[in-house]
């Protein structure tokens, strides 16, 4: 059994902060459960482009408001607390936060826990 608290991860290598977002990686590859689980804060009034070409990501918004645009199609989806979106087609997308957004993110295959996006907006495979 694994039991963790966000406070236990604060300030460790699994607590990543960037200009547009911060992410606490609660479960990572070395935990051996087949996925990673992150709580990510998207900072207000930011725009970030991501492309998880190596991962499937599921994102559940628990706080805040924004939108996600699928770049291949131009379709824009509103995001608010209670919204789930899944990038099961490895869609390149832009996430725009109107307010601070708190997201619970699941990645398969799991992340190692200290990733940041490369120039394509991608996490490398570990």
List the domain boundaries for the chain.
6-108
In whole angstroms, what is the distance from residue 125 CA to residue 84 CA? 24
pLDDT at 72: 96
At 119, the pLDDT band (50, 70, 90 cuts) reads confident
At 123, the pLDDT band (50, 70, 90 cuts) reads confident
At 113, the pLDDT band (50, 70, 90 cuts) reads confident
Widest pairwise Cα distance in the chain: 43
In whole angstroms, what is the distance from residue 45 CA to residue 58 CA? 22
In whole angstroms, what is the distance from residue 1 CA to residue 110 CA? 18
Architecture in CATH for domain 6-108: Sandwich (2.60)
**Whole-structure pTM value:** 0.91
Residue 19 burial (CB count, 10 A)? 8
41, 113 contact by CB (below 8 A): no
């Amino acid at each position: 059994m694994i039991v963790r608290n966000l406070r236990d991860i604060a300030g460790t290598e699994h607590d990543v902060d960037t200009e547009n977002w911060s992410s606490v990686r609660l479960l990572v590859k070395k935990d051996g459960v087949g996925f990673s689980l992150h709580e990510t804060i998207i900072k207000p009034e930011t725009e970030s482009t991501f492309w998880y070409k190596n991962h499937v990501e599921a994102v559940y918004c628990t706080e805040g408001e924004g939108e996600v645009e699928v770049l291949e199609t131009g379709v824009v989806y509103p995001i608010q607390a209670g919204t789930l979106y899944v990038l099961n087609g490895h869609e390149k997308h832009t996430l725009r936060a109107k307010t601070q957004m708190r997201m619970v993110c699941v990645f398969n295959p799991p992340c190692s826990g200290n990733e940041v996006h490369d120039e394509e907006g991608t996490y490398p495979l570990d």
